[in-house]
Amino acid sequence: MVKRALITGITGQDGAYLAKFLLEKGYEVFGTYRRLSTPNFWRLEYLGIFDKVNLIPVELSDTGSIVEALKISEPDEVYHLAAQSFVEASFESPVATGDITGLATTRILEAIRQVCLDVKFYNAATSEMFGATGFLNGGKPLSENDVFRPMSPYAAAKLYGYWITKIYREGYKIFAVNGILFNHESPLRGLEFVTRKIANEVAKIKLGLSNELRLGNLNAKRDWGYAPEYVESMWLMLQRDEPDDYVIATGEAHSVKEFAESAFEIVGLNWEDHVRVDKRFIRPLDVPHLVGDYSKAERVLGWKPRTKFNKLVEIMVREEVGRWSRWLKGERFPWDAPNYPSENRILTRALRM
Is 128 among the residues known to form the active site?
yes
Selection from 66, 70, 11 nearest residue 39 by Cα: 11
Catalytic option among 154, 168, 226, 294: 154
Which residues lie below 8 Å from residue 236, measured CB to CB, with a gap of 6+? 297, 301, 302, 303
84 binds ligand F7E (CB under 6 A): no
The strand ranges marked E within 261-304 are 275-277
The residue whose Cβ lies closest to ligand F7E is 220
CB atoms within 10 A of CB 140: 13
In the complex, what is the shortest distance from the CB of residue 186 to ligand NAP, in angstroms, rounded to a whole number?
A: 9
97 binds ligand F7E (CB under 6 A): no
CB atoms within 10 A of CB 148: 19
Q: Which is nearer to ligand F7E, 5 or 260 (CB)?
A: 260
Listed as own residue / partner, the contacts of 99-102 with beta carbons closer than 8 Å and 24 or more positions apart are 99/61, 100/60, 100/61, 101/154, 101/157, 101/158, 101/161, 102/156, 102/157, 102/158, 102/160, 102/161
192 binds ligand F7E (CB under 6 A): yes
Is 154 among the residues known to form the active site?
yes
Draw the binding track, 186-215, toward ligand NAP (x: CB under 6 A; -: no contact). ----x-------------------------
Q: What is the DSSP string of 66-106?
A: HHHHHHHH--SEEEE--S---HHHHHH-HHHHIIIIIIHHH
Count of CA atoms in the C-beta half-sphere (13 A) of 299: 6
Q: Which is nearer to ligand F7E, 89 or 115 (CB)?
A: 89
CB atoms within 10 A of CB 282: 12
Q: Which does 186 bind (CB under 5 to 8 A by kind): ligand NAP, ligand F7E, none?
A: none
Is 320 among the residues known to form the active site?
no
Q: Which does 100 bind (CB under 5 to 8 A by kind): ligand F7E, ligand NAP, none?
A: ligand NAP
In the complex, what is the shortest distance from the CB of residue 226 to ligand NAP, in angstroms, rounded to a whole number?
A: 11
φ and ψ at residue 123, rounded to 5 degrees:
-110, 130
Distance (Å, rounded) from C-alpha 67 to C-alpha 97?
22
Stretch 210-229 residues interacting with ligand F7E (CB under 6 A): 215-217, 220, 222
Draw the binding track, 95-114, toward ligand NAP (x: CB under 6 A; -: no contact). -----x--------------
Q: Which stretch binds ligand NAP (CB under 6 A): 83-91, 303-311, 321-329, 335-343?
A: 83-91
Q: Is 203 exposed, middle or buried (0-12, 13-18, 19+ CB in 10 A)?
A: buried
Draw the binding track, 28-47, toward ligand NAP (x: CB under 6 A; -: no contact). ------x-x---x-------
Stretch 262-301 residues interacting with ligand F7E (CB under 6 A): 281, 283, 286
Q: Does residue 176 sit in helix, strand or coil?
A: strand
Binding residues for ligand F7E (CB under 6 A): 85, 87-88, 126-128, 182-183, 192-194, 197, 215-217, 220, 222, 256, 281, 283, 286
Binding residues for ligand NAP (CB under 6 A): 9, 11-15, 34, 36, 40, 60, 81-85, 100, 124, 126, 181, 183-184, 190
Active site residues: 126, 128, 154
